Structure 1
Amino acid sequence: MSHYVQINKLPGNEDVSLPCKMSEQASGYDLYAAVGEPVVLAPGERTLIPTGISLAMPAGLEAQIRPRSGLALKHGITCLNTPGTIDADYRGEIKVLLVNLGQEPFAIARNERIAQMVFQTIPEVTLVEVDELTDTARGAGGFGHTGK
């Protein structure tokens, strides 16, 4: 099933590339930086990078913002709040919260690929309050309960 998502380039960003897949079967659309001047992220620093676009998605769809694996591996650049969620009713500019976990400053230039956007369907869920939950073999076992 195909979903139609409207995309809008915000004024002053006509030269910034639209999100695109880098291979035929890629799940993510690469997002591009719409910074006016290069932004240098020092080690340990985080900043919000604009993309110059906004979206209109149908109800039942979300966009998740995720790191680019190459930036993470080569430079330690990743997204905070990962995955970031863009709700179907949000109409503002898509921005990416990047952090430098590397050991060197990293410069982000205009039109550089900074993250990827993956679209997901959201199931309709009804929460039902009960007095007690059904039991499972795992029970309440949480963080690290299965060993290493």
Structure 2
Amino acid sequence: MTVSDEIATVSLAGTAAPTYGSPTLQVQLKMLDDGLEAPSYAHPGDAGADLRARVDVVLEPGERKLVPTGVSIALPDGFVALIHPRSGLATKHGLTVVNAPGTVDAGYRGEIAVTLLNTDKDQAIELRRGDRIAQMVIQRVEYAQFVAVEELSESVRGAGGFGSTGGFAGPAA
């Protein structure tokens, strides 16, 4: 039986409180490519597990492409996987996830693919098969019951929208 035929499961840390960085949730994982590493956390306590490119990709300046990862998961109901850019790639090369964070719903069973964008104006980005391209953060989901009302409760912010709280000094005088 090959890796792609198996389903791996992250095991729980028992019934006691988990130690720092230990697994707290079982997620079924099916690797669709025998030659790739499974998603993994680089350090204990990291929130994001690295996802890798299944194919070589060249992104020209301003170009975006959907990049497969060779990974399928089955999340338990009540959870979501959010796909975030890797900060080092974003800072050093301008590589980002277009729809960040991307959303993998609990009911999705297909291959996780990441829409990457090269924001650099001059340099192409070359990614090789197996390169870490994004991070997957798994979180609990709250399901809202939307209740129609005539008026919303008051708040300090009110209807103030984008930029209504400032946040930068602006041009020097």
**What is the SS of the residue equivalent to 1:72?**
helix
Which AA in structure 2 matches 1:28?
A: G
**What is the SS of the residue equivalent to 2:112?**
strand
Is the counterpart of residue 8 in structure 1 residue 30 in structure 2? yes
Select 2:89's aligned residue among 71, 78, 87: 71
Which AA in structure 2 matches 1:92?
A: G
Select 1:26's aligned residue among 42, 46, 49: 46
CA distance in 2, matches of 1:146, 1:3: 38
CA distance in 1, matches of 2:143, 2:63: 38
Is the counterpart of residue 59 in structure 1 residue 77 in structure 2? yes
CA distance in 1, matches of 2:31, 2:157: 48
The answer for the alignment partner of 1:139 in structure 2 is 158
Q: Taking structure 1 as the reference length, what is the TM-score of the superposition?
A: 0.93
- Of structures 1 and 2, the larger Rg is shown by 2
Higher relative strand content: 1
**What is the SS of the residue equivalent to 2:70?**
strand
Where has structure 1 moved over 6 Å in runs of 4 or more? none
**What is the SS of the residue equivalent to 1:134?**
coil
Q: Could you list the runs of 5+ residues in structure 1 that have no partner in the other structure?
A: none
CA distance in 1, matches of 2:155, 2:145: 21
Which AA in structure 1 matches 2:78?
A: G
**What is the SS of the residue equivalent to 1:127?**
coil
CA distance in 1, matches of 2:68, 2:80: 19
CA-based RMSD: 1.1
The answer for the alignment partner of 2:37 in structure 1 is 17
Task: Measure how far apart 1:124 and its partner are.
Answer: 2.8
**What is the SS of the residue equivalent to 2:91?**
helix
Q: Taking structure 2 as the reference length, what is the TM-score of the superposition?
A: 0.80
- In the TM superposition, what whole-angstrom CA distance separates every residue of 1:121-148 from its partner, at most 9, and x where no partner exists? 0013211111111112221011111234
Q: After superposition, where does 1:87-126 map in structure 2 within 5 Å?
A: 87-102=105-120, 103-126=122-145
CA distance in 2, matches of 1:105, 1:146: 37
Number of residue equivalences = 144
CA distance in 2, matches of 1:97, 1:63: 15
The answer for the alignment partner of 2:61 in structure 1 is 43
**What is the SS of the residue equivalent to 1:93?**
coil
Which of the pair has the greater relative contact order for Cα pairs under 8 Å at 6+ separation? 1
